[in-house]
């Protein structure tokens, strides 16, 4: 166990339905601390760079359009094993497969409009945090 930081995104389907507080409540109840947070709107190009790892997937274009469609909330979560803990509280990518009580089970609309994103490993987390936040914004 070690204290980690992970990047979390509250996606357009959730910000549109005013679910930021409800999702933050689940994150905090899971023992994670939101140490940085901001509401922004991505261009399609910015979304495309963030999701470059999925460039060859059939859903890439749709994913980028969706992520640029309305505001998102980007946040850094900190805690013991934060990457894994956040992935547990998010639930499976496809809400149909997500466990009861998870964010995606309760709020996601579909596999594409699945309410939240979370880093999947330490290297990804470092890249994703630096994509949205400067060192000056990390006040703890």
Q: Which residues are designated catalytic?
A: 117
Task: Name 102's Cβ contacts closer than 8 Å, sequence gap at least 6.
Answer: 88, 89, 90, 91, 92
Q: Judged by CB under 6 A, does residue 26 bind ligand CMP? A: no
Binding-site member from 22, 30, 34, 63 for ligand CMP (CB under 6 A): 63
Residues within window 76-95 making contact with ligand CMP, judged by CB under 6 A: 93
The rounded distance, in Å, linking the Cα atoms of 22 and 41 is 20
16-24, 42-50, 80-88, 106-114 -> range binding ligand CMP (CB under 6 A): 106-114
Nearest to ligand CMP of 16, 54 (CB atom): 54
CA distances from 65 to 30, 96, 109, 121 (A): 31, 23, 16, 25
When asked if residue 59 is in the footprint of ligand CMP (CB under 6 A), the reply is yes
Alpha-helix residue ranges (DSSP H) falling in 11-140: 12-16, 20-29, 44-50, 60-67, 82-90, 103-107, 122-132
The window from 18-26, 34-42, 108-116, 126-134 that contacts ligand CMP (CB under 6 A) reads 108-116
Residue 124 sits in the site that holds ligand CMP (CB under 6 A): no
Question: Quick check: 85 and 30 in contact, CB under 8 A?
Answer: yes
> Where on the chain is the footprint of ligand CMP (CB under 6 A)?
54, 59, 62-63, 93, 111-112, 114, 117
């Amino acid at each position: 166990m070690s204290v980690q930081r992970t990047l979390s995104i509250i996606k357009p389907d959730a910000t549109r339905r005013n679910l930021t507080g409800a999702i933050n409540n689940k994150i905090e109840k899971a023992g994670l601390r939101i140490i940085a947070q901001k509401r922004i709107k991505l261009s399609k190009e910015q979304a495309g760079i963030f999701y470059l790892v999925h460039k060859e997937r059939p859903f890439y274009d749709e994913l980028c359009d969706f992520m640029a469609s309305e505001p998102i909330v980007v946040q850094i979560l900190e805690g013991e094993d934060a990457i894994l803990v956040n992935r547990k509280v998010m639930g499976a990518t496809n809400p149909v497969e997500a466990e009861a009580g998870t964010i995606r089970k309760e709020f996601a609309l579909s596999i594409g409009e699945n309410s939240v994103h979370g880093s999947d490993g330490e290297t990804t987390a470092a890249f994703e945090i630096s994509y949205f936040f400067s060192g000056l914004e990390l006040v703890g």
